[in-house]
Amino acid sequence: MTAGPVPRGTIYDLGYEGYDGPRQGRRYAVWSLYVLSLRSAFGLGRGALPKVLAFGLVTVALIPALIQVIIAAIGPEEDFSFVQPHEYYDFIQVVIILFTAALASDLVGSDRRFGTLVLYFSRPIRWADYGAAKLAALATGLFAVTLLPQTLMFFGNWLGAADAWRWAETNAVDFAPIVGSGLMISVTFAAVGLLTATYAARRAFAIISVLALFLIPFIVVEAITDISDDAKYAAFASPVHVMRSFTLVLFNEVPAIDLPWGVFILAAFAYAAAAAALLLTRLRNSV
Amino acid sequence: MTRALLTLTARQLLGRRRSLFIVLLALIPVLVAAVYRLAGGQTDPLPIEFAAGILDTLVIAAVLPLTALVFGTSALGAEIEDGTAVYLLTKPVARWRIVLVKIAVAAGATIALILPPAVLASVIVLGGDEAALTPALAGAVAVGAVVYCALFVALSVRTSRALLIGLAYVLIWEGIVPSIFDVTRWISVRQYMLGTADLISGAPRDVLAADLGGGPALIAAACLTVLTAFAATRLLQRFEIGQRL
């Protein structure tokens, strides 16, 4: 028993204080969610295995670019070309799809499984903010397997060229298509992947469904495309084919499907917009 | 005890949603075959070439590995993930027996769900003639299912991300690498399957594009299966309950 004056509220006053620091609001909360999602996509702040998986896939995506740049720089051959910018995504499409499947299932799946969604919405963010932050995080993550190898290859080829000015004159036109196709593929794959992943309850199912959505139409279209002329329209059911044709159109090449080039531009934008819109609607309706 | 384990695993694997997904996956070759047939009289590609193409690029390279992956990683992996592995491992059943039963059920389920649609697809394309392709298909699917399921069961004991690692393996190692480096045909399940199909069908080797003879393929497949089953047993013997969350 202590002597002296008894402070008031001995039992219930736990020393809590009100918060009177700065309040950073909705925009800051969305930014934080974006940064957190992007970090966890690459396994930063998580265990060793997610890091190995994410950076391993990025490394695999970089291999063709590295081969091209190294051999072009040290090889005796002038104008060596192992892989061209417009066909780069064909080389690594499996890596892009795997990356999307792995990351999409993590980004929207774990919040649902561990019941942390309610915590986000006790902050001043809205459904659309949550979807936009996740979409932006996955698209940014995908740049590592789309834009990064392509720009590396572009500048590597430039530095390795015997006559840098002449190389720039003939190849500088490729730079805008590289950025355009990289952006379009990243955003579309991110939106389609996230949308699919929200429908699966378990991580394994999410990965398999995202993968199936990209790969199965791809395989089917590849198998039937030679059979008859009408079969070419099936390509519009395959996101990979739409993105491939879009990329070829940007690079001023002729897509394998015999249709006017504007169709592919429209189809690609339609895919990206529809998937993003469906994702936001799906998130809004899903609690 | 073994029988209980068999029926229990089969019931776990053939749950409603998982089987539905696999059935849809397995029907893809049938769909492609039907499109080919509906498109009418074909000279290019010839039916036998197209059937071999479906067999190789759809069944052997995509549908079968994905099915084996789903069944192989969940036969034991789902029990570990759900925590029911505790009840399994505390029973007086030898670990090798558990591993073998899991591999057998996963491979059996894969064959049962993949083979009928695959045979149907080849019958649709070939219209009954060239019947030699059906036993070749059956042999290849059986070999591939056993080897893949052994691999994925072992992988699922080792890591909780077996599905993702298995996918990367199937798509990158089996899909891309053999087309660049020739040596890897000795350690590619896809080549074992093509070799087996080649051996049984007796078709000229370029129809199925097998890089490996039938005999060596079977020997390599058997070695790989025994090795992975052994590895899975070792891993399961050293498995500590509750080591993974």
How far, in whole angstroms, is CA B22 from its chain's centroid?
12
Q: pLDDT for B186-216, tens place per residue?
A: 778 888 888 888 888 766 555 666 667 778 8
Max Cα-Cα span within chain B? 61
Q: pLDDT for A99-130, tens place per residue?
A: 999 999 888 888 877 778 888 887 778 888 89
C-beta atoms of A49 and B74 within 8 A:
no
What is the percent of chain B with per-residue pLDDT over 70, rounded to a whole number? 86
Residues near A153 by beta carbon (within 8 Å), at least 6 away in sequence: A64, A65, A68, A69, A83, A85, A88
What is the percent of chain B with per-residue pLDDT over 90, rounded to a whole number? 26
Q: How many domains does chain B have?
A: 1
Point out the residue among B31, B53, B172 whose CB comes nearest to the CB of A60: B172
C-beta atoms of A57 and B62 within 8 A:
no
Residues near B30 by beta carbon (within 8 Å), at least 6 away in sequence: B117, B120, B121, B124
C-beta atoms of B39 and A231 within 8 A:
yes
Overall average pLDDT of the B81-89 stretch: 84
Q: Which pLDDT score is estimated for B137? A: 84
| B178 pLDDT tier (thresholds 50, 70, 90) | low
Higher-confidence residue of B112 and B133: namely B112
Point out the residue among B21, B35, B62 whose CB comes nearest to the CB of A224: B35
Q: Which of A99, A100, A113, A219 would you mutate first to test chain B, the one with the most B CBs within 10 A? A: A219
| A4 pLDDT tier (thresholds 50, 70, 90) | low
Average pLDDT of chain B, as a whole number: 83
Q: Which pLDDT score is estimated for B191? A: 84
| A1 pLDDT tier (thresholds 50, 70, 90) | very low
Higher-confidence residue of B143 and B43: namely B143
Residues near A14 by beta carbon (within 8 Å), at least 6 away in sequence: none
C-beta atoms of B28 and A220 within 8 A:
yes
> In this model, does residue B132 exceed pLDDT 70?
no
C-beta atoms of A204 and B167 within 8 A:
no
Q: Chain A contacts of B125, Cβ < 8 Å?
A: none
Overall average pLDDT of the B173-194 stretch: 76
* B215: closest CA of chain A, how far (Å): 30
Overall average pLDDT of the A217-225 stretch: 82
- Residue B242 domain-assigned (yes or no): no
Q: Which pLDDT score is estimated for B242? A: 61
> In this model, does residue B173 exceed pLDDT 80?
yes
* A76: closest CA of chain B, how far (Å): 22
Q: How far is it, in rounded angstroms, from Cα B75 to Cα B152?
A: 9
Q: Which pLDDT score is estimated for B122? A: 85
Q: What is the DSSP string of B155-183?
A: HHHH-TTHHHHHHHIIIIIITTHHHH-GG
- Residue B244 domain-assigned (yes or no): no
What are the residue ranges spanned by the domains of chain A? Answer: 25-284
The H-or-E segment that residue B4 falls in is helix B2-13
Q: pLDDT for B49-62, tens place per residue?
A: 778 888 888 888 88
- Residue B125 domain-assigned (yes or no): yes
C-beta atoms of A98 and B167 within 8 A:
yes
Q: What is the DSSP string of B172-224?
A: IIITTHHHH-GGGGGG-HHHHHHHHHHHHH---HHHHT-SS-HHHHHHHHHHH
Structure tokens at A42: 């690459």
Q: Which pLDDT score is estimated for B46? A: 75
The answer, for A256 touching chain B at a CB cutoff of 8 Å, is: no
Q: Which pLDDT score is estimated for B144? A: 93
- The CB density around residue B11, as the number of other CB atoms within 10 Å, is 10
Q: pLDDT for B113-123, tens place per residue?
A: 999 998 888 88
Determine the Cα angle at B104 with ends B103 and B110, to 5°. 90
Q: Which pLDDT score is estimated for A224? A: 78
Q: Chain A contacts of B12, Cβ < 8 Å?
A: none
Q: Which pLDDT score is estimated for B64? A: 92
Point out the residue among A94, A215, A227 whose CB comes nearest to the CB of B39: A227
Higher-confidence residue of A286 and B155: namely B155
- Minimum mean pLDDT among A123-127, A140-144, B24-28, B40-44: which range? B40-44
Higher-confidence residue of A47 and B105: namely B105
- Minimum mean pLDDT among A201-205, B41-45, B220-224: which range? B41-45
Q: Which pLDDT score is estimated for A148? A: 92
Domain span including residue B42: 2-237
Q: Which pLDDT score is estimated for B245? A: 45
- Residue B190 domain-assigned (yes or no): yes
- Residue B155 domain-assigned (yes or no): yes
* B219: closest CA of chain A, how far (Å): 30
